A and B are shown apart, each in its own frame.
Chain A
Amino acid sequence: MDDMSSRKSNALDLHIPAPRARPGDKPDFSGWSFPEPGATPKPDIDESAVEMRDFAYGLIRVLDMEGNALGPWTPHISADDLRRGLKNMLLLRAYDERMHRAQRQGKTSFYMQSLGEEAISIAQAMALAPDDMCFPSYRQQGILIARGYPLVDMMHQIYSNARDPMKGRQLPVMYSSKKDGFFTISGNLATQVPQAVGWAMASAYSNDGRIAAAWLGEGSTAEGDFHAAMTFANVYRAPVIINVVNNQWAISSFQGIAGGENTTFAARAVGYGIPPLRVDGNDFLAVYAATQWAAERARANLGPTMIELFSYRAGPHSTSDDPSRYRPADEARQWPLGDPIERLRDHLVSLGEWSEEQHRAAQEEAIETVRAVGREAEKVGVLGPGAAHTRESMFEDVYKDMPWHLREQRDEQGEA
């Protein structure tokens, strides 16, 4: 005891990071600085990682808050493609909205939306080649939508019904489609990142032209898998894009708990010698341009890029979450970088390529499309007994050929 008091003058104190605002507080984003749109230079794709250090601490922005596209990162993208991107974001939002509601109605067990982050999956899928392999996390369903995967099959998966391509084995939202370059999703966070690196290494090994891209949340960057992936990507110069979606929240833990308090997530690339890009994730044009830059770099055999997509998770983590219990209720609406759909809409309007009427019509069309597809999927069945794949199917695909012990268990189950 004596010892303790004599040392008190320099007593240590444990630091537990905490967000600036909790429920009941005014949202406070004063800790962030947002570089001006158009202010960030655009390096050549063969720029060295060392020279790119500052990109880890800046923020690539193209669209200002009035919808103007500014600066060297403004991508060459046709008005048709921009409209396609916007419509896909509207479709994704309508789909998320309906599936979220379907869970509330008891038609499925679980759902996760990407509200507020739609620009990331849609713009990135559009910037990649259709046969590049994506290793997504659970919030990039927009990739499937952008690649034209049938919405009805996505819903069959959500409903775990008899047409669920995953045969009812996966939690809803854990899609897979090899032919669409969409890797089977794992519930174990970050495991897909070294796998993406391995896939990219295999592509390079095979003198293929395809590249890989992985997505994980900022919370998941604390997993060892992320660091393993960064090491391997750097060592073997894998043609891969590692995307960290910083939507600020990992369930109820703010990004400081993952180590974002004194640095950026993009800065993690610096130590690995991987070029970092830090991008306004709600800016469709910036996300598109950064992804295109990284993809060109990978295709030129120059190796990996890490992109931090700075955004805000506007919705709950999942249907099992109520964010009003850990953050100010209106925080999402106060996010200074706005809503990705509205920002692209404003841009197209400012170009004279879109109008309020067209936008409303497109919105209604998206909702109507989802409604019609929803009816079709629900006709096949929603989660529950009777609607699923046959019970024998449970024993399939454990191995390529069913071994004797599984055949026996299947037969025994059938007799029960």
Chain B
Amino acid sequence: MASMTMIQALNSALDNMMERDPNVLTFGEDVGYFGGVFKVTEHLQKKYGAKRCFDAPINENGIAGVAIGMAAYGLRPVIEIQFADYMYPAYDQLVSEAARLRYRSAGDFTAPLTVRMPYGGGIRGGQTHSQSPEALFTHVAGLKTVIPSTPYDAKGLLISCIEEDDPVIFMEPKRIYNGPFDGFHDRQVSPWSKHAASEVPEGYYKIPLGKANIVREGEAVTVLAYGTMVHVALAAAEEAGIDAEVIDLRTLVPVDNETIEASISKTGRCVIVHEATRTSGYGAELSAMIQERCFYKLEAPIQRVTGYDTPYPHSLEWEYFPTPPRIIKAMRRVMEA
């Protein structure tokens, strides 16, 4: 065991997989010599050579298209889209191609690739370094979408993604790369080393896709969150003094319906938290699913706490970001009903 930040844990996952499987290789903008702008691929080129970890031209469409061809050949490429905001040029390759090769060829060709992308706000990144586009992927048949919230999960989930035979979108909450964020931007952020989830085995281990994690047990209300928002939701639960059950979804598609249903059946109340914009966001999917499956268990209307339906504002970042007070308000509202 070692104490790791999420960045180090992700690096360790790649290191483990490249060590184990010569078919695993990684590339993207600045990924090789420099080790990535967030250093997730640091040392990998030195250790495995430039053929297994290399810099790509600034062409996300090409990065994705080339990775699909490699995956169809039989390799297991892991590509880095430098910021999730830059996956739009790659979107056609991911949606029309990676997601559908298996289906359209009736299993003849597959694309087992992993697309890593740092996402989310809270780092003063402005409109083009802060977006949370997960719903653009969860809506696509054929893709799996995974978002970790701790170093331990990040490593175990990324290893599972690389071993997956389907294409996976792996979104990394960059706000918590170096330490969990409790949503209070004016409070000192504690480093990962102060948290149990930073204890990460050096070797190989997996966390299965499709399994959520109950990170705080409670009886009064279920809070569904993923990525950075798991920590904001936990802070809210503490501050509110409400016996909330906080569930970290970890995998958005396929989502762990059983864990969600069991929790809602127990609490009868639900608050959904994500930092992406609200309209047609992933929270809408969760809400609809719960209505369909747990309507008669519900004691109150489901509440969503999300980013607003605006582009990401630079200077008003902290007004935009879902914060513990906003979550607490939603929790109180469902408790009153």
Interface residues of A (CB under 8 A from B): 133, 135, 165-167, 169-170, 174, 176-178, 183-184, 186, 188, 191, 193-203, 205-206, 212, 224-225, 228-229, 231-232, 235, 396-400, 403-405
- Is the Cβ of A198 less than 8 Å from the Cβ of B67? yes
Assess A176 versus B108: contact at CB under 8 Å? Given A231-B59, A400-B166: yes
Query: In the bound complex, how far is the Cα of B241 from the Cα of A163, in angstroms?
Result: 62
Taking CB as reference atom, which chain A residue is nearest B289? A405
Tally of contact residues, B, Cβ under 8 A: 45
Contact of A200 among B69, B141, B166 (CB under 8 A): B69
Residues of A within 8 A of B25 (CB): 205
Give B73-87 as 1s and 0s: 1 = Cβ < 8 Å from A's Cβ atoms. Answer: 111010000000000
Interface flag for B333 (CB, 8 Å): no
- Is the Cβ of B69 less than 8 Å from the Cβ of A205? no
Contact of A197 among B69, B71, B106, B109 (CB under 8 A): B69
Query: In the bound complex, how far is the Cα of B107 from the Cα of A180, in angstroms?
Result: 15
- Is the Cβ of A212 less than 8 Å from the Cβ of B69? yes
Residues facing A in B58-109 (CB within 8 A) are 59, 61-62, 64-75, 77, 89, 92-93, 96-97, 101-109
Query: In the bound complex, how far is the Cα of B63 from the Cα of A195, in angstroms?
Result: 10
- Is the Cβ of A195 less than 8 Å from the Cβ of B68? yes
Residues of B within 8 A of A174 (CB): 104
Taking CB as reference atom, which chain A residue is nearest B111? A195
- Is the Cβ of B110 less than 8 Å from the Cβ of A176? no
Query: In the bound complex, how far is the Cα of B110 from the Cα of A166, in angstroms?
Result: 14
Query: In the bound complex, how far is the Cα of B59 from the Cα of A354, in angstroms?
Result: 51
Assess A228 versus B75: contact at CB under 8 Å? Given A169-B103, A195-B66: no
- Is the Cβ of A400 less than 8 Å from the Cβ of B165? yes
- Is the Cβ of A197 less than 8 Å from the Cβ of B102? no
A-B pairs under 8 A by CB, number: 140
Residues of B within 8 A of A198 (CB): 65-73, 77
Closest Cβ–Cβ distance, residue B178 to chain A (whole Å): 33
Query: In the bound complex, how far is the Cα of B166 from the Cα of A407, in angstroms?
Result: 17
Residues of B within 8 A of A194 (CB): 61-62, 64-66, 68-69, 93
Interface flag for B144 (CB, 8 Å): yes
- Is the Cβ of B70 less than 8 Å from the Cβ of A403? no
Interface flag for B210 (CB, 8 Å): yes
Assess A232 versus B57: contact at CB under 8 Å? Given A166-B106, A198-B68: yes
Interface flag for B51 (CB, 8 Å): yes
Interface flag for B254 (CB, 8 Å): yes
Interface flag for B193 (CB, 8 Å): no
Query: In the bound complex, how far is the Cα of B109 from the Cα of A197, in angstroms?
Result: 16
Kindly name the residue among A174, A194, A212 whose own CB sees the greatest number of chain B CB atoms within 10 A.
A194
Contact of A195 among B69, B106, B141, B210 (CB under 8 A): B69
Query: In the bound complex, how far is the Cα of B96 from the Cα of A194, in angstroms?
Result: 14
Assess A397 versus B70: contact at CB under 8 Å? Given A188-B97, A224-B89, A228-B61: no
Interface flag for B142 (CB, 8 Å): yes
Query: In the bound complex, how far is the Cα of B73 from the Cα of A229, in angstroms?
Result: 17
- Is the Cβ of B92 less than 8 Å from the Cβ of A184? no
- Is the Cβ of B107 less than 8 Å from the Cβ of A397? yes
Assess A224 versus B61: contact at CB under 8 Å? Given A198-B70, A212-B69: yes
Contact of B106 among A167, A200, A225, A400 (CB under 8 A): A167
Kindly name the residue among B64, B73, B92, B107 whose own CB sees the greatest number of chain A CB atoms within 10 A.
B73
Assess A398 versus B65: contact at CB under 8 Å? Given A206-B75, A232-B57, A405-B254: no
Closest Cβ–Cβ distance, residue A107 to chain B (whole Å): 21
Interface flag for B257 (CB, 8 Å): yes
Residues of B within 8 A of A135 (CB): 69
Residues facing A in B181-213 (CB within 8 A) are 210
- Is the Cβ of B104 less than 8 Å from the Cβ of A201? no
Query: In the bound complex, how far is the Cα of B77 from the Cα of A3, in angstroms?
Result: 59
Query: In the bound complex, how far is the Cα of B59 from the Cα of A225, in angstroms?
Result: 9
Give B202-227 as 1s and 0s: 1 = Cβ < 8 Å from A's Cβ atoms. Answer: 00000000100000000000000000
